């Protein structure tokens, strides 16, 4: 099931994304919504153990504005979790997961602009990543119970001011600017994340291409590790790390993170004033 959050008629709602069977390619319009309909959900879908209820209303996905599929209280992110990427940054993969936080205010949705703080940073990079969305409040989750706390998966871009990451030591500024965490286009609740292809492209040119099977620390390990530190709330997000191929974005670029089995998250890049 694909769960989207969207704005229609001046209201924000959740819905289930369905193929309307028009035969149009879902990737045809760049946002991946061509030929899709959205069945409105009553309330929100984060109700453990309860069936999702529909209102009966349906929208053409191309007629609504998709929003970030979730508004997390926090975004927990993992650094250097693909060996080749760790090496391209000049370091060895860490023995234990390397955790950092991105503020909730960095989250934007599909099509929203990534705003480069050009007056503060000379190099802003894309980082395509698989994102885990938590479905329930949890802490100290043992490995065997990790599937119970995961609501689904979405695409993420862990946008990073690379020069500030190096100069600050701490990563809060480099990773924390408004718009530095695009999420979407929706949450896929039935993905098997063990071996799916992740592709990041800029203006149609592929820059990153890797399977999630290359994660150094797998999702079960990351969830047990992170929840040993902090409580996760429904809708909280965990970014699983980026593969090799990171590179800069400039104003006018269109950056897309595609994950097989989920969809494509595309954002334009602009310079902030
Ligand atoms: Mg990252």
Q: In degrees to the nearest 10, what's the CA dihedral of 5, 6, 7, 12?
A: -20
**What pLDDT does residue 22 have?**
57
Low-confidence residues in the chain, pLDDT < 50: 23-29
What pLDDT sits at residue 52? Answer: 84
Secondary structure (DSSP) of 224-243: HHHHTTS-B-TT-EEE----
Output the CA 129–ligand 1 centroid distance in Å: 7
Among candidate residues 44, 66, 88, the one where a domain is terminated = 66
Q: Which domain, by its residues, includes 32?
A: 2-66
Longest dimension (CA), the chain: 53
What integer pLDDT is reported at residue 43 of this predicted model? 85
Q: Domain check: are 26 and 105 in the same one?
A: no
Ligand 1 centroid to Cα of residue 64, in Å, is: 30
pLDDT, residue 50, reads: 76
Distance 25 CA to ligand 1 centre (A): 30
How far is ligand 1, taken at its centre, from the CA of residue 192, in Å?
Answer: 21
19 Cα to the center of ligand 1, angstroms: 31
Q: Is residue 229 located within the same domain as residue 246?
A: yes
DSSP letters of 65-127?
Answer: EEE-S---S-EEEEES-BHHHHHHTTSPPPSS-EEEEE-GGGEE-TTPPEEE-TTT-S-EEE-
Q: How far does residue 243's CA lie from ligand 1's centre (Å)?
A: 9
Compute the distance from residue 40 Cα to the ligand 1 centre, in Å: 32
What's the 96 CA to ligand 1 centre distance in angstroms? 15
Predicted pLDDT at 46:
80
Could you count the other beta carbons within 10 Å of the beta carbon of residue 26? 16
Domain's final residue, options 42, 66, 90: 66
User: Quick one: 20 and 106 in the same domain?
Assistant: no
Whether residues 87 and 60 share a domain: the answer is no
pLDDT digits (tens, 9 = 90+) for 11-31: 999 999 998 765 444 444 455
Q: Determine the distance separating the centroid of ligand 1 and the alpha carbon of 179, expressed in angstroms.
A: 14
Number of domains in the chain: 2
Residues 147 and 252 in one domain: yes
Together in a domain, 232 and 172: yes
Size of the chain in residues: 273
Ligand 1 centroid distance, CA of 146 (Å): 22
Q: How far is the CA of 241 from the centre of ligand 1 (A)?
A: 5
Q: How far is the CA of 31 from the centre of ligand 1 (A)?
A: 23
Q: Are residues 17 and 110 in the same domain?
A: no
Instruction: Report the separation in Å between the CA atom of 85 and the middle of ligand 1, taken as the mean of its atom positions.
Output: 10
Spacing, Cα 30 to ligand 1 middle (Å): 24
Domain final residue pick, 48, 66, 84: 66
Q: Are residues 42 and 83 in the same domain?
A: no
126 Cα: distance to centroid of ligand 1 (angstroms): 9
Same domain, 177 and 252: yes
pLDDT score recorded for residue 26 = 44
Return the pLDDT at 130: 98
CATH of the domain at 144: 3.90.850.10
Cα–chain center distance at 57? 27
In this structure, are 100 and 39 located in the same domain?
no
Q: CA 215 to CA 199: how far, in whole Å?
A: 14
In this structure, are 61 and 84 located in the same domain? Answer: no
> What distance in angstroms lies between residue 106's CA and the mean position of ligand 1's atoms?
14
For ligand 1, the distance from its centroid to the CA atom of residue 178, given in whole angstroms, is 16
DSSP string of 120-181? T-S-EEE-EEEEEEE-S-BSS--GGGHHHHEEEEEEEE--EEHHHHHHHSS-HHHHHSTT-E
Please tell me the distance between residue 209's alpha carbon and the centre of ligand 1 in angstroms: 15
Q: What is the pLDDT of residue 47?
A: 73
Answer yes or no: do 37 and 127 share one domain. Answer: no
């Amino acid at each position: 099931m694909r769960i989207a959050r969207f704005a229609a008629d001046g209201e924000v709602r959740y819905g289930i994304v369905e193929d309307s069977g028009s035969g149009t390619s879902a990737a045809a319009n760049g946002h991946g919504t061509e030929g899709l309909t959205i069945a409105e959900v009553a309330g929100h879908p984060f109700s453990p153990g309860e069936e999702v209820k529909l209102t009966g209303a349906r929208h053409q996905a191309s007629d609504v504005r998709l929003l970030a599929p979730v508004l997390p209280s926090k975004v927990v992110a993992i650094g250097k979790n693909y060996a080749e990427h760790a090496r391209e940054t000049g370091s060895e993969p860490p023995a234990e997961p390397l955790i950092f936080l991105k503020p909730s205010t960095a989250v934007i949705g599909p099509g929203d602009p990534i705003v480069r703080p050009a007056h503060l940073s000379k190099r802003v990079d894309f980082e395509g990543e698989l994102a885990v969305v938590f479905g329930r409040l949890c802490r100290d989750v043992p490995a065997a119970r990790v599937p119970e706390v995961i609501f689904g998966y979405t695409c993420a871009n862990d946008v990073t001011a690379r020069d500030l990451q190096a100069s600050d030591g701490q990563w809060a500024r480099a990773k924390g600017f408004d718009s530095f965490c695009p999420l979407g286009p929706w949450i896929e609740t039935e993905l098997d994340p063990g071996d799916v292809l992740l592709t990041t492209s800029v203006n149609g040119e592929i820059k990153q291409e890797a399977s999630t099977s290359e994660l150094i620390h797998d999702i079960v390990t990351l969830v047990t590790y992170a929840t040993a530190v902090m409580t996760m709330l429904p809708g909280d997000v965990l970014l699983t790390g980026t593969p090799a191929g990171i590179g800069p974005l400039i104003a006018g670029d269109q950056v897309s993170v595609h994950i097989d089995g989920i969809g494509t998250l595309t954002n334009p890049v602009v310079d902030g004033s």
